[in-house]
Amino acid sequence: MNFVFLIFYIIFVLSLSSVSMAEIKAQNIDPTIQAKIDSLNIWIKKQIETTGTIDQKQLDSMNQLIKEAQLNLNVKTNNVGNENIIEKQQQETGKLIIRDMMPGSTFIVPEGVKWKIKRISCKTEMGGYSVLVTSIKLKELYEAGEKISMPAFTPEASLLTEDSSSVIYTFEIFEIPKPK
Domain boundaries, the chain: 2-90, 94-177
Identity at 44, one-letter amino acid code: I
Q: What is the pLDDT of residue 16?
A: 53
Other CB atoms within 10 A of residue 1 CB: 6
pLDDT at 143 over 90: yes
Q: What is the pLDDT of residue 163?
A: 76
Q: What is the pTM of this model?
A: 0.48
The answer for residues whose C-beta is within 8 angstroms of residue 106's C-beta and 6 or more apart is 147, 148, 149, 150
Other CB atoms within 10 A of residue 150 CB: 20
Q: Are 106 and 150 in contact (CB under 8 A)?
A: yes
Q: Mean pLDDT in the chain?
A: 76
Integer Cα distance of 40 and 63 in angstroms: 8
Q: What is the pLDDT of residue 4?
A: 62
DSSP conformation class of 142: B
Q: What is the pLDDT of residue 128?
A: 75
Q: What is the pLDDT of residue 136?
A: 86
pLDDT at 103 over 70: yes
8-17, 18-27, 69-78, 155-164: which range is least confident on average? 18-27
pLDDT tier at 68, thresholds 50, 70, 90? confident
DSSP element (H, E) containing 34:
helix 31-50
Q: Are 156 and 134 in contact (CB under 8 A)?
A: yes
Mean pLDDT calculated for residue range 9-15 = 61
- pLDDT: is 84 or 60 the higher one? 60
- pLDDT: is 180 or 17 the higher one? 180
Identity at 49, one-letter amino acid code: E
Q: Cα separations (Å) of 145 from 106, 114, 120, 148?
A: 12, 9, 20, 10
pLDDT at 69 over 70: yes
Q: Is 7 helix (H, G, I), strand (E, B) or coil?
A: helix
